[in-house]
Amino acid sequence: MKKTVDISLPVGPVHPLFKEPCRIKCETRGEYVLSAEVELGYVKKGIERIMRGRPWQEVMFLAERVCGICSVIHNYTFIEAVEKISGIIPPERAAYLRVIVNELDRMQSHLLANYSYCYTIEHETLAMYVLNLRETVMDQLELITGARVTCAYIIPGGVRWDLPDDRAESLKSALDHIDSELTRFVRIFETGPFIALRSKGIGILTKEAAEAAYAVGPTARASGISVDCRSDHPTYQALGFSPVVRHEGDNYARIMARFDEVFQSVNLIRSALLKMQPGPVRGGGVIQAGSIQYRMEAPRGELLYDLVTDEYGRILEIAIQTPSIMNIQVCAHEMLTDAESAADITSIFISSDPCIACTER
Amino acid sequence: MEYLYEKDLRRMKLLILESRRHHAVTIEIAAILGIKPQAARKILIEECDMLLLENLPARCDAARKKGNEIEQKLGIHMLTQATHLISPDAGQKAVADVIEKIESGLEKEIALEEGRTGILELIRS
Amino acid sequence: MSIIQKLKNTIRSRSIHVCYVNVGSCNGCDIEILACLSPRYDIEQYGIYVHNNPREADVLLITGAFSPQWEDKLKPLWEKIPHPKVAVAIGNCPISGCVFNRPETLVDPPVSKHIPIAAEIPGCPPRPTEIISTILSLAPLIFKDYEEKKQ
Amino acid sequence: MTSIIWYIREFLRPAWISRFLTAKTEPLVTPPYFRDFPVTTENECTQCLACMMICPAPEAIIVVKREGVWRPEITKGHCIRCGLCVEACPEDVLASGRILATKKEEKLLLSGTYHISINPKTCMGCGNCSVVCPVNREIDPSLRSSGTSRSNEVIMRVDTGQNKILHEEKCTGCKTCEEHCPNNAIRVARVVEATEGGKL
């Protein structure tokens, strides 16, 4: 009898389908994946080390550059954490503006993740549709904040500037456009037979494994765990938020959960625009000493900032726990194990929306 | 197994463990095993891959509250589920041993201490 | 100049293969390069193809400050690109290290210490329009009359 | 057959051929509201160093004297285009995108106070910070040539092997000292408050 040779299959660090460098080492028998290991360290910048001893104006920008894709939420979480320490309450209009910018950022991040997935399973048409729709969101983000990616819109005590009515109107019409277009794309995704072949029943993550590895965000919500830090946030509670949960736990569920969350974000922005009353957007206030652990929901899941400040508002100690850490770990150690084909390695990996820059900081 | 482009990852793993939350977890695991934090760090660097090390605080958060009193005192779920230092079967066996010793009349503290030594042997072997 | 050279110049200016490598960026520049692919900016209408295989590329786009893992990897990657080749630094990180270039950092900018950089696009991150216009203006200049320059 | 002829005729139209060969998306434009690198306006710089104080990127902005006038200079490749310097400048010397117009309209203000702290364990009294401090050099011009100061009016001065803070309130928060300290012993805390509508 011919002996089956076990092959160790490395993918990366530079791979056509990855936006970022990382190295997946898969132990395979034929096409069947026995186990996988991810090697990191390609984008380790030591952000937490740099942040120590710096005032908020510098740490705010460093926090934003933990991850370029979900930059707004890092800014948002850091600022709300230091605000909680010093007891600063932002004006109501500023709170709603923060939600609007954050949800726009979530939309572009989810659309980018779904673009990557569609591109990975070689459905390039849908991928380009989704990527072009993302540009509409980016335009709105630029219109409100003045920059496409690293917006630096949220500062302690409020936001940088107001959203005048003409820009709000343009935002509303863009939301209508996104709503109608995305409904079409989601129908393409749902009914595509080849998409179903590459997505349904592949890369299954069970609820138990997700709980043990502390999976978060759309990855966990697609496996039937209803966790979303937004339901604890007062502004989101005022907007009537409830998380999107699916139960299949495969690639398809994760992508659909993200599409559903984009629709949810559209509705959240609409209701925030309705509820917003004219008023000030900056309340002032200085950062004081204290320590806090603050959690918020990033596009990829729960984001934790654990920080200590001194009496002049400098950051003494900081630890950032980003959602990608948990999601990539559960992806590499649970989903990739027992993948039927080597071609599914990349699609499973991309479906968990990995962000290596977040993971390593 | 030998890989091409393979590098010594120990320095990078140490950089991961330097972080504030990782430092707290290392001390906690050291306390569970009854050894110095430096020794615990060495065990973690040798046994875990980079991704597991990054995810250590979150996994420990999930595992910390699990299990009954004996399991919590031994930190079995921290060692099996969170860090994969010992296999789940070996962990259950260690717990069963300790419970047996307590039932056979040994004092609880001493039994726990013996269990801890047994687990450390298991990890080091 | 021979007629073949002229033909080569014309073809080269309409067919630029691009490979990008992230040597420790925050992803911000990477997604701006990705946005260039979208039908809005449509980088392919100018004949620029993103390949991500260094052996097929003419232009290497570098994002990110230089992280320690790349010390032994970037140079071989650069050597794998066939001539004529050119490297473009995208964003502040490969130029100066951006906000990461502080005491206690792990990165080692600028990237020009390790491989020759032909052009720099400042910005954190640069807009897709800036990236496209730089590649478009740079590539024909570099690749023009390559064979004659070599002699 | 007729359809083939129709197709050939359709594709031989000059308009179709020219569109086929020159298909391009709309020209690439940068919108006017984009926060680009700050540019200087007509207004006169008073060398308050507020821009250097707020700037989060190392070596991105520096206020220098050129041909007898102080001007802020932006270094491309270091500037991250955050626009905070435009907001912080009290004299509206800098402009970027529509930040300056918004700032005037909504009366946005970033104002700060500064605190210098020196770690006595790591400070070795080299005096780099006292020499490079722009305010020190303004107060005591002899620093430029001799490198030592006798004046009691300076912000800080090396005294008996340790750097001593004399006048913390004169600090403008430019953090030049931080960048030049070989041991990272000196830290400038900038307590910045963001306000709106001109009230503090």
Over residues C41-77, the pLDDT tens digits come to 888 888 888 877 888 888 888 888 888 878 878 888 8
Tell me, what's the pLDDT at B5? Answer: 58
C77 located within any domain: yes
In a domain? residue C4: no
Quick one: CA dihedral B75, B78, B81, B85, positive or negative?
Answer: negative
Return all residues near A133 (Cβ < 8 A) that are at least 6 apart: A111, A178, A181, A182, A185
Tokens of B123: 């990890």
Full residue range of the structural domain in which residue C110 is found: 16-144
Asked if D115 and A58 come within 8 Å (Cβ–Cβ), the reply is: no
Contacts of residue D18, defined as CB under 8 A and 6 or more positions apart, other chains included, come to none
**A169-181: average pLDDT:** 90
Q: Are B86 and B122 in contact (CB under 8 A)?
A: yes
* Domain limits, chain A: 6-360
Q: Measured between alpha carbons, how far is A224 from A245 in angstroms, rounded to an integer?
A: 6
pLDDT at D27: 65
Residue with tokens 């979150």: B58
Q: What is the pLDDT of residue A6?
A: 67
In a domain, C149, yes or no: no
Tell me which DSSP letter residue C113 carries. G
Chain A residue numbers with beta carbons less than 8 Å from the beta carbon of B20 are 48, 306, 317-319
pLDDT at A311: 82
CATH number of residue D98's parent domain: 3.30.70.3270
Is A211 within 8 Å of A307 (Cβ atoms)?
A: no
When pLDDT is averaged across residues A199-224 and rounded to a whole number, the result is 82
Chain B contact present for C106, CB below 8 A: yes
Q: Which residue has the tokens 């104080």?
A: D53
Q: How far apart are CA A222 and CA A257, in angstroms?
A: 6
Report the alpha-carbon distance of residue B29 to residue B22 in Å, rounded: 10
Q: What whole-number distance in Å separates Cα of residue B103 and Cα of residue D53?
A: 68
Question: Is it true that domain A6-360 has CATH number 1.10.645.10?
Answer: yes
> What is the tens place of the pLDDT at every residue in A299-315?
888 888 888 888 887 88
* Pairing outcome for strands C59-63 and C86-90: parallel
How many residues in total does chain C contain?
A: 151
Confidence of residue A2 (pLDDT cuts 50, 70, 90): very low
Per-residue buried b or exposed e for A108-117, using 16+ beta carbons within 10 Å of the residue's own CB: bbbbbbbbbb
Instruction: Provide the number of structural domains found in chain D.
Output: 2
pLDDT band at residue A1 using 50, 70 and 90 as cut-offs: very low
Q: Which segments of chain C does DSSP mark as H helices, in order?
A: 3-14, 28-37, 74-80, 92-96, 128-143, 146-150
In a domain, D89, yes or no: yes
Of the candidates D123, D120, D135, D138, the residue with the CA atom closest to the CA atom of residue D174: D135
Residue A142 has pLDDT above 80, yes or no: yes
Structure tokens at A156: 């302690």
Task: Tell me which residue of A105, A118, A102, A134 sits closest to A255, measured CA to CA.
Answer: A118
Minimal CA separation from A199 to chain D, in Å: 33
Question: Does the pLDDT at position B14 exceed 70?
Answer: yes
Within a domain: residue D111?
Answer: no
Q: Which residues of chain A neighbour C105 with C-beta distances below 8 Å?
A: 45-46, 49-50
Residue A17 confidence (pLDDT): 66
Domain range for residue D38?
31-106
The answer to whether residue C69 sits within a structural domain is: yes
Closest approach of C39 to chain D, Cα-based (Å): 8
In this predicted structure, which of C2-6, C93-97, D135-139 has the lowest mean pLDDT?
D135-139
Domain-embedded: residue C86: yes
For residues C33 and A154, is the Cβ–Cβ distance under 8 A? no
C21: closest CA of chain A, how far (Å): 7
Q: What mean pLDDT is reported for chain B?
A: 77
Of D28-32, D48-52, D160-164, where does mean pLDDT reach its minimum? D160-164
Q: Which chain A positions have a beta carbon within 8 Å of B80's beta carbon?
A: none
Shortest Cα–Cα distance, A357 to chain C (Å) = 5
For chain A, which chains pass the contact test of at least 3 CB pairs under 8 Å?
B, C, D
Q: Does the pLDDT of residue A37 top 70, yes or no?
A: yes
Query: Mean of the pLDDT values across residues A112-137?
Result: 87
Q: Given CA atoms A351, A340, A200, A224 in this order, what sign does their dihedral have?
A: negative
Is A331 annotated to bind a ligand? Reply is: no
How far is the CA of C54 from the CAs of A254, C35, C37, C87, C144, in angstroms? 32, 21, 18, 11, 21
Which of 76-95 (D) contact C at CB < 8 A? 76-81
What's the number of CA atoms in the CB half-sphere (13 Å) around residue D174? 26
Q: Can you give the pLDDT at residue D149? A: 66
Confidence check: pLDDT of D199 > 70: no
B15 and chain C in contact, CB less than 8 A: yes
Tokens of D72: 């802020």
B→A contacts (Cβ < 8 Å), by residue, are 1, 3-4, 9, 12, 15, 18-22, 49-52, 54-55, 57-59, 61-63, 81
| CATH at C89 | 3.40.50.12280
Highest averaged pLDDT of the listed ranges A101-105, B57-61, D149-153? A101-105
Q: What share of chain D is helix, strand, coil (3-state, %, to 5)?
A: 30, 20, 50
Q: What is the 3-state secondary structure (H, E, C) of A205-220?
A: CCHHHHHHCCCCHHHH
Strand pairing category for A23-29 and D39-40:
unpaired
Q: If you average pLDDT over residues C11-27, what whole number do you get?
A: 82
Is the model's pLDDT at A5 over the cut of 70? no
Flag whether pLDDT at A229 surpasses 80.
Answer: yes
pLDDT of residue B3: 47
* Torsion sign across C-alpha atoms A250, A255, A256, A258: positive
On chain C, the residues whose CB falls within 8 A of the CB of A138 are: 35
Q: Quick check: B50 and B16 in contact, CB under 8 A?
A: yes
Q: Model confidence at D154, in pLDDT bands (50, 70, 90)?
A: confident
Res. A4: pLDDT tops 60: no
D96 shares a domain with D36: yes
State the helix-helix crossing angle for C28-37 and A124-145, rounded to 10 degrees.
Answer: 120
Q: For residue B1, what pLDDT band results from cuts at 50, 70 and 90? A: very low
Which residue(s) pair with D113 in the sheet? Answer: D191
Question: Within this chain, do residues D121 and D96 fall inside the same structural domain, yes or no?
Answer: no
Q: Where is average pLDDT lowest: A33-42, A349-358, C89-98?
A: A33-42
What ipTM was reported for this prediction? 0.83
| pLDDT-above-70 percentage for chain C | 98
Residues A261 and A202: their CA atoms lie apart, in Å, by 21
What span, in angstroms and rounded, lies between the C-alpha atoms of A146 and D32?
Answer: 9
The share of chain D scoring above pLDDT 90, in percent, equals 0
Q: What is the mean pLDDT of chain C?
A: 82
Helices (DSSP H) in chain A: which residue ranges?
47-51, 56-64, 71-86, 92-120, 124-145, 165-191, 193-199, 207-212, 217-221, 234-238, 251-275, 323-330, 343-351, 356-360
Please tell me the distance from the alpha carbon of residue A344 to that of residue A16, in angstroms, as a whole number.
15
Pair of tokens at residue B49: 């891959």
Q: Which of A358, A355, A339 is nearest to A18 (CA)?
A: A355
Indicate whether A3 pLDDT > 50: no
Strand, coil or helix: what is A155? strand
Hey, are the CB atoms on D25 and C124 less than 8 Å from each other?
A: no
**Domain architecture of chain B: domains with CATH:** 10-124 (1.10.3070)
D138 has pLDDT over 80: no
Over its C-alpha atoms, chain B yields an Rg (Å, rounded) of 15
Give the DSSP per-residue string, B64-89.
HT-S-HHHHHHTHHIIIIIT-SS-HH
Whether residue C120 is contained in a domain is answered as: yes
Please state which of the ranges A93-102, B93-102, C47-56 shows the lowest mean pLDDT.
Answer: B93-102
Query: Do D140 and D97 share a structural domain?
Result: no
Letter string b/e over residues D22-43, b meaning 16 or more CB atoms within 10 A of that residue's CB = eeeeeebeeeebbbbbbeeeee
Q: Tell me the average pLDDT across D133-155.
A: 73
Closest Cα to residue B58, out of B81, B74, B33? B81
Domain-located, residue C105: yes
Over residues A263-284, mean pLDDT: 86
Mean pLDDT of D147-172: 74
Write the pLDDT tens digit of every residue in A241-260.
888 888 888 888 888 888 88
* Residue that is last in its domain, among D73, D106, D139: D106
Q: What value does the mean pLDDT take over residues D57-85?
A: 83
CA C104 → CA A43, A80, D179, distances in Å?
16, 26, 13
**Average pLDDT over every residue of A19-40:** 78
Looking at the domain assignment, is residue D91 inside a domain? yes
User: What value does the mean pLDDT take over residues D20-29?
Assistant: 70
Number of domains chain C is built from:
1
